[in-house]
Structure 1
Amino acid sequence: MNYTLHQLKVFYTVSNCGSYTKAAQQLGLQQPTVSEQVSTLEKTFGLDLIERIHGGLRLTDAGKVLYQSVQHVLGVSDDLGRIVEQLRGQSTGTVRVCADTTVGTSAIPDVISKFQRLHSGIQIILEVVNRAKVIERLEEGKVDLAVMGRPPDLRGLEVEIFLPNELLMVASVRHRLAYQLKLPLSAISDERFLVRESGSGTRTALIELLETVGIKPKIAMVLSHNEAIKQAVIADLGIALMSRNVLEQELKLGLMTILDLEGLPIIRRWHVVSPPGKLVSPATREFRQFLKNYQPNSK
């Protein structure tokens, strides 16, 4: 059969993304090119691998079987590439990074931009998901590095501190508690909370904080993106625990306020996590070292 490693990679990426458009963005290709590559692979194998459903794509039974084999083939290919890179001692190649939503949409894009100015031969593929998905990627060995809050309790992980993560309780400037000082946590016992989906590290931090004083949060809305939560806070639909990293513009413009509550802010750390048992390429080592030394205000 005449198929290419590139076609397998495209099929694998489409399968993971559940969308030709998202896969195209991740691969840096045009959407029609991605569709054509999958179609060519299907013709080569004489099998339907992906079918369209309402709201996305899904693998056929044949596609599910092939997916497992493709995952193995791509893993072997990546390992071979790393071995060659190590033998040559060159900092080129691809680094697959998975970051949780907050750090992945705030600090990491700036990190990648600065890194690639210095290392144009290294491609960074970034996937931004919630904490639960980051852990899943680490367990499956699908990434070279992960950037997240509290590292999971998995054997063999290599963990390094990245940046501080300051969690704040924010509210609309019209909120009844806005600008009041030194409030006890009990002051927000009847508030409506705006939270991320289950599996989010920030949501877990909120629940843990309120549990210390016996408060069960009243969830007003569950939103999958920080931007949506910020807009809901500004509209005074509820209050939210959020990272300062994603609030810079809104606080600067006076669109929301920080509630002065006992036990806050919560100071945590972002971490760079390497999955267990994975051969570390020179490119990954270079990027990990850059993360370790990164200064947010550097040019």
Structure 2
Amino acid sequence: MTAIILNHLLVFHSVARHLSYSKAGEELNLSQPAVSRQISSLEKGLGLDLFTQRGRQVVLTDAGRSLYDYADRIMGLAQQAGRALTQYHDLERGEVRLGVSPVVGCYLLPSILKEFYNRFPNIKVSLQLDCGQKLIKGIEEGELDLALAVGPLACDNIHLERYAQDDLVLVCPPGADSPMLKEILINYPLITREKLSSTRVIIEDHLAKYAIKTKSIMEIPDTAVIKKLVMTGIGVAFLPERAVETELVSGTLQTVKGAATVINRWVYLVTSKDQHYCPTLLAFMNFVRKYQ
């Protein structure tokens, strides 16, 4: 019923503006009899006369004038809504709900967002920083449109697209003697993330594959803190290569040499398999794909 009333209201608004059935028909590309039928149907549904004839002139009744005030506002809002939705297609506005893992949010995302906002200043990116499994849950429950998360990730309801390589490299304090893997782990404890961290799982699986046992494990839930602890000589750690680029160049950290000191891993673009790809989301994803 709402759709019929709105359609009738459109015809009524045109007749009321022109005070002419024929001009309304021309504007709406309808025949004059079709316009008359629409108005008659509306009047019948409302139980009120909206127009009256004074000779050949069409005149609004009191009820018609009252309805016209509302109809004029409704048609104005409809036009505004149309323009607003057109802006989404023209990428003049919109929002992307993005989830990222902490390392991606700290070392990879800022430069991407800077360039994206330069290109699309009116598109808002709302950001959630969390671990991979919580980001997947956000995708599944429709709270996030997209996630940039570090693997491994597994879920039947999500789609994974490899985005950028984000290797873990074993780093040690500057000036450490004989920085080879087995020797360094004899002299220094291995500092790593908390047990539920996907990074922790990757590191443990990697060391088990090479039958390497660590001296001890210190659990820290923050990459920046781990980096500082290694720099002060407390231990060694597998850290994202992007996170230690500056320190390796400046010499405040050094990489451990030899086999098994680099762990390959990927950052993934994560979406739901049932994702609705609106224009703003597509624009963001295509921009991210080009910016690696």
Match of 1:248 in 2: 245
Q: Distance in 2 between matches of 1:206 and 1:187?
A: 16
Match of residue 130 from structure 1: 131
Q: Which amino acid in structure 2 is aligned with residue 249 of structure 1?
A: T
Secondary structure of 1:124's partner? strand
Secondary structure of the corresponding residue to residue 275 of structure 2: coil
Counterpart among 227, 230, 234 of residue 227 in structure 2: 230
Q: CA deviation at 1:211?
A: 0.7
Counterpart Cα distance in 2 of 1:219 and 1:277: 44
Matched residue SS, 1:147: strand
Structure ranking higher in helix proportion: 2
Identity %: 23
Distance 1:187 1:228, change over 3 A: closer
Q: Which amino acid aligns with 2:98?
A: V
Q: Residues 277 and 151 (structure 1 numbering): CA distance in 2 closer, same or farther, change over 3 Å?
A: farther
Structure 1 residue runs of 5 or longer lacking an equivalent are 1-80
Q: Aligned equivalents of 2:148 and 2:281: distance in 1?
A: 13
Matched length: 209
On the 8 A contact 1:100/1:147 being kept in 2, the answer is yes
Tell me, yes or no, if structure 1 residue 89 matches structure 2 residue 89: yes
User: C-alpha deviations, 1:174-227, integer Å up to 9, x for none?
Assistant: 43333xxxx455762674111112332321221011111233445442222211
Asked if residue 153 in structure 1 is aligned to residue 154 in structure 2, the reply is yes
Q: Which amino acid aligns with 2:119?
A: L
Per the alignment, in what secondary structure is the counterpart of residue 276 of structure 2? coil
Determine the structure 2 residue equivalent to 1:286: 283
Q: TM-score, normalised by structure 1?
A: 0.63
Q: Which of 259, 263, 267 is the matching residue for 2:264?
A: 267
Structure 1 moving runs of 4+ over 6 Å? none
Gaps of 5+ in 2: 1-80
Aligned positions of 1:1-299 closer than 5 A: 85=85, 89-91=89-91, 92-150=93-151, 152-178=153-179, 183=180, 185=182, 188=185, 191-295=188-292
Residues 99-143 of structure 1 show CA distances to partners (whole Å, capped at 9, x for unaligned) of: 111111101111111111000111011222222322332333321
Question: Could you tell me how far 1:85 is from its partner in structure 2?
Answer: 4.3
**Which residue type is aligned with residue 236 of structure 1?**
G
Tell me the distance in 2 between the aligned counterparts of 1:105 and 1:217: 28
Give the counterpart letter for 1:145 in structure 2.
Answer: L
SS at match of 1:232: helix
Q: Is the 8 A contact 1:116 1:122 kept in 2?
A: yes
- The alpha-carbon deviation at position 166 of structure 1 amounts to 1.9
- The Cα offsets for residues 240-274 of structure 1, whole Å up to 9 and x where unpaired, read as 00111111211111101100131232232211111
Hey, what's the Cα distance between the residues in 2 that align with 1:229 and 1:184?
A: 18
C-alpha RMSD over aligned residues: 2.4
* Bigger-Rg structure (1/2): 2
Deviates more, 1:84-93 or 1:132-141: 84-93
- The answer to whether the Cα contact below 8 Å between 2:88 and 2:279 also exists between their aligned partners in 1 is no
Q: Distance in 1 between matches of 2:265 and 2:88?
A: 39
